[in-house]
Structure 1
Amino acid sequence: MDLFGETSDWGTKLKPLLKKYKGKKHPLEYQNTYQLLVMVVLSAQDSDANINKIAPALFDKFPTLKSLSKTDAETFIPFISNVRNYPTKAQWLLEMAKTIKNDEDIPLTMQGLTALKGVGRKSANVIMRETHQPAEGIIADLHVIRVAPRIGIIKESKDGNKVEKELMQALPKSIWSEIGMAISFHGREICRPKPKCEECLLADICHYYLTQII
């Protein structure tokens, strides 16, 4: 078996995952781009489930970026106090709101998004995928960081930016926009820390599975 993308046709091998998950909405329960941006920033080192739980009250109070830009930390923080690292995230979001001001002015390019405090490449890739922008990278969240080396696409690394870079080298650009989220969903549902290999669509090409049965 060819490992680490050097001679492998991963575009073909990963088709079952793309077929299963293509176009599936991100687990964050957002209603528009403003909500998506705020929720993605809040979800760093926290769970999507926790952010979904606090979102209704947060967006009821602050329905637009403009409304957020007019508030202060004292008023804002109680709505996100159950979120990990909330003091820093509050600072980022209030600064972002004052900088952008209007929902329609939220940038939707890698350069524009990563210029915002609290938005790294992973977050930018999620926002661009969910808003149907041309891909400039591949989502590399904690599930992708675990699963992609297991399958054998890349070598193991805990560095999300390195994982993304290696995936971009190994995978055809035509699947960049969907493959990161597809691998992420696969990691959430099947290829968990303790994987359900018997349910896996990729068992016949997976490095981890094939080395277990030899």
Structure 2
Amino acid sequence: MDLFGETSDWESKLKPILKKYKGERHPLQYQNTYQLLVMVVLSAQDSDANINKIAPALFEKYPTLKSLSQANSETFIPYISKVRNYPTKAQWLLEIAQTIKNDKEIPLTMKELIALKGIGRKSANVILRETNKPAEGIIADLHVIRVAPRIGIIKESKDGNKVEKDLMQILSKNIWSEIGMAISFLGRETCRPKPKCEECLLTDVCYYYATEVL
């Protein structure tokens, strides 16, 4: 079995999940790019389900970047107080809103996105993928960090940026946009911390399955 990038054929090996999850929307239930931006910032170290729960009231009160730019911490925080690390995230989002001010001015390149407070490469990759912009990297969320080494594509690392960099060196650029989310969905549904290998589409290429299950 080829391991840790020793093959250039990972694209074909991963086709079953690329096919299954192609174009599937991110679990954050956003309605537009403004909502996506805000929800991505809020979701760091928190669950998508929690962010989806608080989103309706938040966006009813602050439907645009312009309305958010006119808020202050005192008025804004009650709407996100159930979010992990909400005081810091409130500062980030208010600063983003005051910097950009207009929904149509939201930047959609990696360089411009990561220049904003609270947005790292993972968040930027999600925003670029969900807005159908050309991929400049690979989404490496906590599911990808767990699952990609387990499959055997890369060596294990807890550092999301390293995981992304390693995946970018191994995987063809034409699948960058979809593969991160496909691995993430696999991790959410099947390759859980306690994996459901009997339901997995990748058992014939998976290092974990070959060494731990068989």
TM-score (norm 2): 0.99
Verify the 8 A CA contact 2:152 2:208 in the aligned structure 1: yes
Q: Distance in 1 between matches of 2:19 and 2:213?
A: 26
**After superposition, where does 1:32-181 map in structure 2 within 5 Å?**
32-181=32-181
Give how far 1:5 is off: 1.2
Question: After superposition, what is the alpha-carbon deviation per residue over 1:55-101, rounded to whole angstroms, capped at 9, x for unaligned?
Answer: 00000000000000011110000000000000000000000000000
Q: Distance in 1 between matches of 2:75 and 2:120?
A: 26
**After superposition, where does 1:181-196 map in structure 2 within 5 Å?**
181-196=181-196
Report which stretch shifted further, 105-114 or 7-16: 7-16
Report which stretch shifted further, 7-16 or 64-73: 7-16
What 5-or-longer segments of structure 2 have no aligned partner? none
Structure 2 residue matching 1:74: 3-state secondary structure: helix
Q: Distance in 1 between matches of 2:7 and 2:62?
A: 50
Q: Distance in 2 between matches of 1:5 and 1:178?
A: 19
Verify the 8 A CA contact 2:8 2:171 in the aligned structure 1: no
What 5-or-longer segments of structure 1 have no aligned partner? none
The amino acid that maps onto 2:44 is: A
Verify the 8 A CA contact 1:2 1:8 in the aligned structure 2: no
Matched residue pairs, number?
Answer: 214
Equivalent residue for 2:23? 23
Equivalent residue for 1:14? 14
Give how far 1:8 is off: 4.1
The amino acid that maps onto 2:37 is: L
The RMSD of aligned alpha carbons is: 0.6
Q: Distance in 2 between matches of 1:169 and 1:62?
A: 41
Verify the 8 A CA contact 2:135 2:177 in the aligned structure 1: yes
Give how far 1:6 is off: 2.2
Q: Distance in 1 between matches of 2:91 and 2:199?
A: 43
Q: Distance in 1 between matches of 2:200 and 2:80?
A: 37
Question: After superposition, what is the alpha-carbon deviation per residue over 1:28-47, rounded to whole angstroms, capped at 9, x for unaligned?
Answer: 00000000000000000000
TM-score (norm 1): 0.99
